Structure 1
Amino acid sequence: MGDAVEREVARAISSCRAMITEYCAWNEKRVHGETFSTMYGDIFEFVNIRMETAESCLLLLENDKVADSLGLSRSLLEHYLLFLLMCRGNKYFQLVDLSGENLSEGQFKVRLREEQKKLDALRAEGKSHCLEVRKYRRAKHRLMYVFEGLKDTVDPDFLIPLHFFQYQQFRPDVMRLKDENYFQYYEDEADIKKVLRDNQNGEAWRYKNYLSYDALLQCLELNNLATPAVMHRIEAHYTFLGKFLHPTNGAARDLHEQNNWHSGESGVGIGQPYTTRAKLLAALYLCYSMASLLQEVTGLTDRAPRKHYADSGTADLWSAIRSVSVDFPYFWFLFNDAPLYDRYLYCIHHASAEDLAEWGGYEGVPLEKVPFNQHIYSHFSDSLNGWSNIRWGSYLPAVRHRGQ
């Protein structure tokens, strides 16, 4: 089994390299139209930098730095969530804060219904472009007015997601750092200090409502880009990968052979090697993260008006992207179907003989019934083993099948 997993690691790394190659070759296959939008140039630059991060992950993997590769993959995941909204997040919102009115929960609900009725009347008269008004879930007593798109001044049918601009304009230094705490050539005047405070508050609002992790989830939900089940998977992957980015005791140790053995000696890392299964997991995170990012940029280019791209030239790149879910279906990322092992496990513990008769085997279980397993590494490692059950038969992992 060890040799089979090692070969699978090589296949996953090769798939990542193939996507980078096709992405770089894409330059010669796109045919520009009569006009060029700088938005696309900025989008490509965003992806280019992510591909640099992906290549760093590959270098780490090829040098057996598995935990560090997983930590960088958390960065890729977070950028992917943002990129989803930059490419397809056509809905945005404005907030009205009612917290200063000291409304009870019942009064707030009445006020919300009143605002919804007002909006319905305005929309019926064609006097409002607001799509809806709803309760803002992330803070008490705030109304969220939802709008669609930021229209291009030249091409009104061309919508540009607000996250594109929020990302470009965000200044973390302005949000976090106060000038008076650092070197200044001269002290700012009172009116300048007020402007700086307003700028700081504006950047904090931008981050809190559009760019923070919680805000990204809120906006994905708003734009119907992630179902509740997908949200749960995002949370699980984000939390798991975050253990290798933020201080978490034992996170890297758990990925090593004989991880309960402590030498007490100084050195680089732990003396025991990483398991090949941990390395495969890291490689698959990279595969799926890259494929997800590239899927969004190819889709965006395919949807571009012909005046921007006469031919998007994405066929070869799409082929490399789609091969990931075909070649590695046993890793459950965000939007792919539940792997066979998860279906098998669900059926063993939750399905009946009647279900077996209806579905014809664990492969036929309705996918919406299968929950995600939050224990990422141990569950993934178990999925690489063969299993047998009296009612549901045998499960043979794809990795072992290829290795035979």
Structure 2
Amino acid sequence: MSERLDAEIDQVTQLTRAMLDEYVAWGQKVTVGEVQYAWYYELLDFLNFRMETVDTCLLLVENDKIADSLGLGRSLLEHYMLFMLMCRGRKYIRIQDLSASLNEREFKDRLKEEQEKLRALQAEGETQCLEVTKAPRVSRRLMYVFEGLRSPDEPDFIIPAHYFQFQQFRPERLRLKDENYFQYYEPEPETKKILQGYRDEAALNYKFYLSYDGLLECLELNGLVDAAVIARIEAHYTFLGKFLHPTHNAARDLHEHSNWHTNRTQIGMEYPYSKVAKLLAALYLCYLTAGLLEEAAGLFEGAPAKYISHAGTDELRALTGSVPQKFSYFWFLFNDPPLYDRFNYCIHHATDDELREWGGYAGVPFDRVPFEQHIYGHLERVLNGWSNMRCGVYQSPLQ
């Protein structure tokens, strides 16, 4: 088993490195159209630094620094969610804050009034607004939903609002108050009021566009994820977050003999990380790299010909497409339920009649199979072989 795990880890990391190499080579395969549009290359610049993080994480995995790689993996997952919206987020929102001027009853009346106005404007074709509703997670704020920041000469070409929100976001504007730090002179009261307005606006934009909850809601708003995918994102995000934020025994639990404690000082633990933990870190990198690169490939493939006349993504797509085929046993965000999860579901939930109807556990409808939240323990079970009197035999993917 140990040798098979070593071989699998090597195969996963080799594919990730192959994707990185092809990404670097891809730039020379793209043919620009008659107009060079900077937006595409600014998104590639964003992606360049994500690929640097992937490269760093591979070095960490190769040097058995597994917890640190998983912590950076949480950052990659958030950037992946943002990149999806920067590439395909056609819908955007505007927030109107009425919390200071209306009470709850007045706000409900105002919401109903705005919805009636919108229906009238839509019937006359005089608005681009798609919907007005109560903003989630906050009180007495209206949320207007629009589609697209469109170019007048390319009506089907849309630059997602997240591109601008990300570029304009300054965390110091959100978090830091000028009066708590060195200033050359005391601002006028009117200036202070304006600066406070900027902070309030930054807080709202962050909350609804760039925070974790905001990213999830915008992904769902744009139809890029559904409830099942959100559940998987939540599980992976929470698991990876244990290695980024203080969490008791998070790194220890990934080691062999994890319950062994010593009284001496050392770097990490005496016993190494388990090979399953190392494979898990490598799988995260492989899937995240493939996901990021597929977003970029789709962006260039869908570009107007006057901007990108040839995307040159054949080799890149071949590599990214092989990830869920070669490593289908790892259930990430958008791939189908692995064979083990179908097997396990049928053992505990399928009737004999259903098994006959489906032709065995492999045929269970995918939407019947729930995701398991215990990421590491689940992978340990996936890699073993199992048998069941009713459902038959599940063979390890390493065999």
| TM exceeding 0.5 | yes
Q: How many pairs are equivalent? A: 398
Secondary structure, aligned partner of 1:257: coil
Match of 1:262 in 2: 261
Q: CA deviation at 1:37?
A: 1.0
Match of 1:309 in 2: 308
Q: CA deviation at 1:153?
A: 4.5
Secondary structure, aligned partner of 2:92: strand
* Cα distance, 1:196–1:98 mapped onto 2, change above 3 Å: closer
Matches within 5 A, 1:168-317: 168-317=167-316
State whether structure 2 residue 79 is matched by structure 1 residue 82: no
Matches within 5 A, 1:5-404: 5-99=5-99, 100-104=101-105, 112-399=111-398, 401=399
Q: CA deviation at 1:317?
A: 0.4
Q: CA deviation at 1:236?
A: 0.4
> What is the rounded CA distance, in whole Å, between the counterparts of 1:228 and 1:332 in structure 2?
16
* Cα distance, 1:308–1:8 mapped onto 2, change above 3 Å: same
Secondary structure, aligned partner of 2:156: coil
Check conservation: 2:102, 2:140, Cα contact below 8 A: no
> What is the rounded CA distance, in whole Å, between the counterparts of 1:129 and 1:263 in structure 2?
65
CA RMSD of aligned residues (A): 1.4
> What is the rounded CA distance, in whole Å, between the counterparts of 1:94 and 1:72 in structure 2?
32
Q: CA deviation at 1:155?
A: 2.7
Secondary structure, aligned partner of 1:29: coil
Q: CA deviation at 1:109?
A: 5.7
Secondary structure, aligned partner of 1:11: helix
User: Which structure 1 residue ranges, 5 or more long, are not aligned?
Assistant: none
Counterpart residue identity of residue 272, structure 1: Y
> What is the rounded CA distance, in whole Å, between the counterparts of 2:199 and 2:308 in structure 1?
39
Secondary structure, aligned partner of 1:334: coil
Counterpart residue identity of residue 145, structure 1: Y
> What is the rounded CA distance, in whole Å, between the counterparts of 2:108 and 2:131 in structure 1?
15
What are the superposed Cα offsets for residues 338-361 of structure 1, whole Å, 9 maximum, x if unpaired? Answer: 101111111000000011111011
Q: CA deviation at 1:154?
A: 4.4
> What is the rounded CA distance, in whole Å, between the counterparts of 1:11 and 1:263 in structure 2?
35
Secondary structure, aligned partner of 2:245: coil
> What is the rounded CA distance, in whole Å, between the counterparts of 2:136 and 2:191 in structure 1?
35
Q: CA deviation at 1:389?
A: 0.3
* Cα distance, 1:195–1:103 mapped onto 2, change above 3 Å: closer
Secondary structure, aligned partner of 1:131: strand
> What is the rounded CA distance, in whole Å, between the counterparts of 1:346 and 1:180 in structure 2?
58
User: TM-score if structure 1 supplies the norm length?
Assistant: 0.95
What are the superposed Cα offsets for residues 318-343 of structure 1, whole Å, 9 maximum, x if unpaired? Answer: 01111111110000000110101111
Q: CA deviation at 1:130?
A: 0.9
Secondary structure, aligned partner of 1:96: strand
Check conservation: 2:82, 2:210, Cα contact below 8 A: yes
Q: CA deviation at 1:264?
A: 1.9
> What is the rounded CA distance, in whole Å, between the counterparts of 1:10 and 1:369 in structure 2?
33
> What is the rounded CA distance, in whole Å, between the counterparts of 1:181 and 1:122 in structure 2?
47
> What is the rounded CA distance, in whole Å, between the counterparts of 1:110 and 1:187 in structure 2?
43
User: Which structure 2 residue ranges, 5 or more long, are not aligned?
Assistant: none
Q: CA deviation at 1:220?
A: 0.8
> What is the rounded CA distance, in whole Å, between the counterparts of 1:108 and 1:205 in structure 2?
18
> What is the rounded CA distance, in whole Å, between the counterparts of 2:378 and 2:163 in structure 1?
36
Counterpart residue identity of residue 75, structure 1: S
> What is the rounded CA distance, in whole Å, between the counterparts of 1:339 and 1:98 in structure 2?
47
Counterpart residue identity of residue 236, structure 1: A
What are the superposed Cα offsets for residues 16-60 of structure 1, whole Å, 9 maximum, x if unpaired? Answer: 100001000001111111111111111000100000000000000
> What is the rounded CA distance, in whole Å, between the counterparts of 2:55 and 2:152 in structure 1?
38
Counterpart residue identity of residue 117, structure 2: K
Counterpart residue identity of residue 18, structure 2: A
* Cα distance, 1:18–1:394 mapped onto 2, change above 3 Å: same
Q: CA deviation at 1:198?
A: 2.0
Q: CA deviation at 1:89?
A: 0.6
User: TM-score if structure 2 supplies the norm length?
Assistant: 0.97
> What is the rounded CA distance, in whole Å, between the counterparts of 1:355 and 1:28 in structure 2?
52
* Cα distance, 1:190–1:102 mapped onto 2, change above 3 Å: closer
Check conservation: 2:66, 2:273, Cα contact below 8 A: yes
Counterpart residue identity of residue 272, structure 2: P
Counterpart residue identity of residue 79, structure 2: H
